[in-house]
Amino acid sequence: MIYYRSDEEIALIKISAQVLGKAHAEVAKLIRPGIQTKELDRVAETFIKDNGGSPSFLGYNKFPASLCISVNDVVVHGFPSRYELRDGDIISIDCGVKLNGYHSDSAYTYPVGDVNPATRRLLTRTKESLYIGIEKAVEGNRVGDIGYAIQTYTEKFGYSVVRELVGHGVGQNLHEAPEVPNYGKRGQGPKLREGMILAIEPMINFGKKGIFQERDGWTIRTADRKPSAHFEHTVAVRKGKAEILTTFEYIEAVTANTSLMVETQELMAA
């Protein structure tokens, strides 16, 4: 069942999303070589609870943590652990917050220290594809228009779109209809109507699209062990222009001196 949220409900999701954005920023402050990923999870969980929310992921289908922490070739659903981040890693942080009865969901991928330019470009272009997909999340379009926009943008750089993992509706439940693939055909899929709340989340591999699941039943890696990037916003479908409910503002205030954005000339030279 697809839900259509009122302006009042959307306002409640935005409140949840503000706490989520600030939780991400608390984590972003700590990302550096040498920190254990379980410490990032502890900080996020504490911040969310101290601000009246609950971590959406903790206990969801028995998931053991508040953050999905995915390093390098892990696409999504990695566990926090004693692993210490290393110079040259990339780390995706996926987090959800439930507050006032509504969930918000977002993800961001960070470079750790000195990351090679090709991998930085993967991060930049995956983030750009998120906004390109969001542009299509307007009343009258279809879900396939979102996926087509993300797919065509990222594949022109030689990247691959993960097929088995998709975005989704979000609201009173963490995962709701419809599924929102990051690939597809224009004009296909469920029709978008005002009030639909979507978690749009490109998961883009540097190499081939193949993935596999670890024995823990959660961790998803690229089959060729090349890096993968993941960015996500929760958005409301509107007439004319989608409304982004989550925010990267707090993250990027923290990371301003180590921005993901590659110089224009570097991109042009790639």
Under 8 Å between Cβ of 153 and 132: yes
CA angle 115–146–160, rounded 5-degree value: 40
Comparing C-alpha atoms, which of 64, 74, 80, 103 is closest to residue 31? 80
Tell whether residue 175 is among the known ligand binding residues: yes
Is 77 known to sit in a ligand binding site?
yes
User: Is residue 105 part of an annotated ligand binding site?
Assistant: yes
At residue 170, φ and ψ (nearest 5 deg) are -150, 145
The burial class, CB within 10 Å (0-12 / 13-18 / 19+), for 215 is exposed
* Structure-token pair, residue 44: 């996020």
Q: Tell me whether residue 232 is annotated as binding.
A: yes
Residues whose CB falls within 8 Å of the CB of residue 124, separated by 6 or more in sequence, listed in order: 260, 261, 262, 267
194 annotated ligand binder:
no
**Of 174, 244, 178, 233, which Cα lies nearest the Cα of 202?**
233
Find residue 243's DSSP bridge partners.
236
Which residues does the annotation place in the binding site?
Answer: 77, 94, 105, 168, 175, 201, 232
Which residues does the annotation place in the binding site for a divalent metal cation?
Answer: 94, 105, 168, 201, 232
Which residues does the annotation place in the binding site for substrate?
Answer: 77, 175
